Copies of this chain bind each other. A is one copy, B any other.
Amino acid sequence: MRQRIFAHELQPGGWIDEQALALEYGISRTPLREALKVLASEGLVVLKPRRGCYVTELSEQDIDEVFPVMALLEGRVAEEAARRITSADFARLEVIHADLEKHAAANNADRFFEVNQRFHNALQDIAGNRYLAQLIDDARQVIKLTRRDSLRLEGRLKQSLAEHRDILEALRQKDPAKARRSMHDHLISGRTALARLAGSN
């Protein structure tokens, strides 16, 4: 169901037909409703009492609330990672980054998106704070509710790559403050790209 929500197969703001979905998945309404409760707590859907379940629709205000927090959290991850990173960790990151360069060169936004997520997850592992990582994962899910096509903006892939290089450089230097700033700016830059996209619609 998460996939279908992210793919906008279930459209934002749209009503979720419990019986139809239950029938489709070949299960009864009971487990489906429990799943909806979980999705609701993750912020992917909203449950209106006696009115049913609706896919969450993010307002511009919502996005402006989530992104700064995301930037703060990811910045913290980078900071902590810079303190703890080993050369083996760094090597792993470089492999992932090489993949990113490849997909950017091929202008493959979807693959870039996937590998980008792997990059950030790897950083979370290095930082070693599971709670922090979980908050970021949740926030990322919420952000994914919006169109992720910002990566398809002219030049955004290249820009994102450059920002990643900054982060990698800070990690190589084991400079926590710089890593935090680079990562923070990277996320804010992502928000800006999204805004440009919204503005052009």
Which residues of A approach B to under 8 Å, CB–CB? 30, 33-34, 37-38, 40-42, 62, 65-66, 68-69, 72-73, 76, 129-132, 135, 142
Contact = CB atoms under 8 A, between A and B. Distances in A.
B69 A132 contact: yes
The CB with the most chain B CB atoms within 10 A, among A30, A72, A131, is that of: A131
A38 B34 CA distance: 9
Copies in the complex: 2
Nearest to A133: B65
Given A37-B37, A41-B42, A76-B72, A65 B130 contact: yes
Contact of A34 (B37, B62, B129, B132): B37
Main DSSP-derived SS at the A contact region? helix
Contact of A69 (B33, B42, B131): B131
Contacts of A72: 72-73, 76
Contacts of A130: 65
Contact of A132 (B38, B41, B65, B76): B65
B34 A131 contact: no
Contact of A129 (B38, B40, B68, B76): B68
A69 B34 contact: no
Nearest to A67: B131
The CB with the most chain B CB atoms within 10 A, among A40, A41, A42, A130, is that of: A41
Contacts of A62: 131
A27 to B, nearest CB: 15
A135 B68 CA distance: 13
A33 B37 CA distance: 10
A76 B65 contact: no
Contacts of A73: 69, 72
Contacts of A66: 131
A175 B68 CA distance: 19
Q: Which 7 A-B pairs have the closest CB atoms?
A: A41-B41, A65-B131, A37-B37, A65-B129, A66-B131, A69-B132, A34-B37
